[in-house]
Amino acid sequence: MSYDQVIITVDDSSTMRRIIKNTLQKLGFSNVLEAGNGIEALEQMSKSKIDIIITDWNMPEMDGLTYVKTVRAKDQYKDTPILMITTEAAKDDILTALKSGVNNYVVKPFTPETLQEKVFKLLGIE
């Protein structure tokens, strides 16, 4: 299968970005953009339309929560699916993320199958 949706993976760890990108490419997504923090991601999003955002929580410059809130405030991206990748599995943190506009989350470390399941669900792929 190949999918034409544009995905952006936002993480300050280049290793984590590579893992996510490889997983997505194996699933058939060839349009995967990368950013090292929220500011870089917003810059990319002003140039290309993004269909789904996969973002880390802890990042320098602009963390995941601030990034999510900024994205949600933009008309163009108010409904774009956002998946947060986090080490914060505490209930309060998850609630905070969901209230800020995150649609779903993955707790590190995660398997390729988990990532696939969440991404497909958010994009409505059966």
Interface positions with Mg ion (CB under 5 A): 12, 56, 58-59
- Token reading at 78: 């108010």
C-beta closer to Mg ion: residue 69 or 121: 69
Contact assessment for residue 107 and residue 86, using Cβ atoms and an 8 Å cutoff: yes
Strand partners for 56: 85
Residues 6+ apart with CB under 8 A from 47: none
Pick 6 or 62: Cβ nearer Mg ion: 62
Instruction: Tell me the closest approach of the beta carbon of residue 60 to Mg ion, in angstroms.
Output: 8
**Geometric angle at alpha carbon 119, from 93 and 86, rounded to 5°:** 25
Q: How far is the CB of 124 from Mg ion (least distance, A)?
A: 28
In the bound state with Mg ion, the residue whose beta carbon lies nearer, of 16 and 123, is 16
Instruction: Work out how close the CB of 67 gets to Mg ion at its nearest, in angstroms, rounded to a whole number.
Output: 12
